[in-house]
Homo-oligomer: A and B are copies of this chain.
């Protein structure tokens, strides 16, 4: 393959097979187009409720770690408290999220999905899972491992932390 030496923006020390600028550009565009597909289905559902992606993100991470605090959510989402608060307020007002004052530390608010909130969460995540399941299945298990490996490398280091300690719902040792 590749008559004419493939261009890389580094020296010729790179493994020539996959680090050409052209390959990297393909990766960049893959991220762009795939992320659009990734958010398309939930976006449609959210629109019916008058919500946006910001609401989805909050709902997702509250569901993942019930009882999480506002501050913790803030550090995961990487937005200002004013931004998050606006979203959170509408979710609480609409009865999708419950905000309980902490028992150990009464300054903290612990966030939980209500039944209605959990319903919406299921609807959203199911749509998103359906697309991802199809993509995973069509690409195969080895591709999935590679997908995850590359994405993990692409994260900022401090976000990798949030990503890695998922799994159990111990979102801050709620009492």
Contacts and interface: CB of A to CB of B under 8 A. Distances in A.
Contacts of A18: 136, 141, 144
Interface string A39-80: 010000000000000000100100010000000000000100
A83 interface: no
Nearest to A157: B37
A151 interface: yes
Given A1-B169, A9-B126, A125-B28, A143 B154 contact: no
Contacts of A126: 9
Q: List the number of copies, as a whole number.
A: 2
Nearest to A22: B167
A146 B141 CA distance: 9
Contacts of A154: 34, 37-38, 131-132, 135
A18 B141 CA distance: 7
A25 to B, nearest CB: 7
10 contacts: A9-B126, A10-B133, A24-B129, A24-B133, A28-B38, A34-B151, A37-B154, A134-B153, A135-B154, A136-B153
Interface of A: 1, 9-10, 15, 17-19, 21-38, 40, 57, 60, 64, 78, 125-126, 128-129, 131-156, 159-160, 162-163, 166-167, 169
Given A31-B34, A135-B153, A142-B146, 20 more contacts: A18-B141, A19-B137, A24-B136, A25-B125, A27-B132, A27-B144, A28-B60, A28-B128, A29-B64, A31-B35, A31-B38, A33-B159, A34-B150, A36-B155, A37-B154, A37-B155, A37-B156, A143-B145, A147-B147, A147-B149
